[in-house]
Amino acid sequence: MKLFVGTALLLSGLLANAAVKCPSYTDYSSVPHEPYSTGQNRIPSMRPPPECRTFNTPTIEQAIFDINSLISDPDWRQLFSNVFPNTLDTTVAWHNSNTTEPYTFLVTGDITAQWIRDSANQVLPYIPYAKVDDDLAKLVLGLVNMQAEELLGYPYGNAFQPPPRSGLTPAENGIAVDLSVDPPFDNSTVFEAKFELDSFASFFQISTAYWRATGDYQFMYSKSWSNAMATVLTTIRRLQEPTYNSMRQLNRPLVQYKRLTDSPTETQFGNGVGNPVRYTGMAKTLFRPSDDATIFPFLVPANAFLSVELSNLSSMLTSIGVYAEQAAFAKKMANEIRQGVFQYGTSVHPKYGRVFVYETDGYGSALIMDDANGPALLSLPYLGFVGSSDTTYQNTRKMILSPDDNPWYFSGPYIHGIGSPHTGFLKVWPMAIAMRGLTSTNKTEVKECLDQLKATTSGLGLMHESVSVNKPAEYTRSWFAWCNSLVGQLVIDALTRFPGII
């Protein structure tokens, strides 16, 4: 049986298609539930009852059973059972599966809006199963179609409201009256208008991943997807432009975001258009995947991610034999951006040698750090930009995993890892610990990451956004679906590479 239940309805405590009272998962995820695992950590059971889950599929239930049969640690069996299906259990706010063109709206967790990047990452662990599960394939295809519609409507948005036809109530996001965004947006359809370059890469990523898993390419012929693809490609080309033209006059900015705020991460330099840049081949962005403003507009990991996904898009279009002009255009920009990353997005560090920088402007300014949110420098092999043994990546990895050299790396008695300006000092993101494990070739390091993740759920059996390095009971966000999905990926990956590791 498949249940597609609007999260807004779920949060109100009433299922739309059954006379069953269901708790708000925001509340449910904030307290532990029996039965507990029998291991030392006593991980609670945090899946909602089957009748309250937003998507049920026997394929994933079987996958959980099969993977748990490979795990000897009872705590990890319970934890994996909680995190791996969390997106399906709790975040499918709307899915019209009974049409030839399905649509899926996924919330990010305790925030009732769909982020382009988050929603793509939330379903990535399920895509391998889509080839044998038509309903799961429709769910992913629905997300591809939904993202296309959203980006076609407003390509500079990072998070979107549910479409009116879903019947869901748009979320309140407290947009300030002093906010000025150009081009303007409609808050009834756009939840947040912080332009983040990785949204484009995520749209291409989920599109090509779905095609590779299922072989289905009919979605490419839809007017919504093809127009969104063309719009994104044209927008990327404009984002490659420098701040000044050859006459040292300002090029017309493509997007602007400014507001009066006491937090510098909530507005942009240069009257909302960002600090000036020269041409590098890379594309500018106003905000990072953390939703924090960039300091220098060329965010290197986002450009690396975009380069990979533009190349994947070109390969997909070429394989199917459609949109030859766009395929060539995407390939050309992928190469330009990749060259720009290596030419302008690296620097010689006095301790580590040549490293990738986090942000740059093409003039020689560079920001040395990494942020927990992906795409990040730590994730470059995961994204497919370089191999894990690449010398520049290995130099970078040593630098960003050092508390002496990455200002946003924190260490305490309970946890150590990369944090984010988004959540402030002395807070580590479990997401970064998971990514460290996914990009490591060392079994001992991977095991350390798994042990840390198991010990830092604050007794709630789910992954949080961030956790205090000194007090593991202090965390942000009890319900963060993206991180739950990523940790599910890590478990499967670790068991594949290192059987018996947990």
Give residue 7's pLDDT. 38
CB proximity list for 134: less than 8 A, separation 6 or greater: none
Residue 321: left if φ>0, alpha if ψ -120 to 50, beta else—which one? left
pLDDT in tens for each of the 502 residues of the chain?
333 333 333 433 333 444 578 999 999 999 999 999 999 999 999 999 999 999 999 999 999 999 999 999 999 999 999 999 999 999 999 999 877 899 999 999 888 899 999 999 999 999 999 999 999 999 999 999 999 999 999 999 999 999 999 999 998 876 665 689 999 999 999 999 999 999 999 999 999 999 999 999 999 999 999 999 999 999 999 999 999 999 999 999 999 999 988 889 999 999 999 999 999 999 999 999 999 999 999 999 999 999 999 999 999 999 999 999 999 999 999 999 999 999 999 999 999 999 999 999 999 999 999 999 999 999 999 999 999 999 999 999 999 999 999 999 999 988 999 999 999 999 999 999 999 999 999 999 999 999 999 999 999 999 999 999 998 789 999 999 999 999 999 999 999 999 999 9
pLDDT at 174: 66
Sign of the alpha-carbon torsion through 107, 112, 118, 120? positive
Half-sphere CA count of 348, side-chain side, radius 13 A:
1
Q: Would you state the structure tokens that stand for residue 375, as one six-digit string?
A: 């795409």
Q: In whole angstroms, what is the distance from residue 123 CA to residue 115 CA?
A: 12
How far apart CA 164 and CA 334 sit, in angstroms, is 35
| 154 neighbors 193 (Cβ within 8 angstroms) | yes
d(CA 287, CA 267): 9
- Tokens 């975001």 belong to 257
- The residues near 286 (Cβ < 8 Å, ≥ 6 apart) are 194, 195, 196, 255, 257, 268, 273, 274, 293, 294, 297
Q: Which backbone phi and psi does 73 adopt, to 5 degrees?
A: -80, 115
For residue 85, what are the contacts with CB-CB under 8 A and spacing of at least 6?
47, 60, 61, 64, 488
d(CA 38, CA 44): 10
Residue 146's pLDDT is what?
98
- Output the pLDDT for position 178: 66
- Give pLDDT, residue 14: 31
Q: List alpha helices for 84-133, DSSP H.
A: 86-90, 116-123, 127-130
Contacts of 93 (CB under 8 A, 6+ apart): 6, 7, 8, 54, 105, 106, 107, 112, 114, 162, 166, 168
- CB contact set of 22 (below 8 Å; sequence gap of 6+): 10, 13, 14, 15, 48, 49, 51, 52
pLDDT at 171: 87
The answer for residues whose C-beta is within 8 angstroms of residue 66's C-beta and 6 or more apart is none
Within 46-177, residue ranges assigned H as helices are 58-68, 74-83, 86-90, 116-123, 127-130, 134-153
Q: Looking at this protein, which amino acid is placed at residue 487?
A: V
Q: 275, 297 in Cβ contact below 8 A?
A: yes
* Cα 479 from chain centre: 15
Residue 131, H or E segment = none
What is the DSSP code (8-state) at residue 299?
Answer: E
Q: Which residues are paired to 190 by β-bridges?
A: 160
In the prediction, which pLDDT does 110 show? 83
pTM higher than 0.85 = yes
Q: What is the pLDDT of residue 393?
A: 98
Q: Tokens 């990956």 label which residue?
A: 493
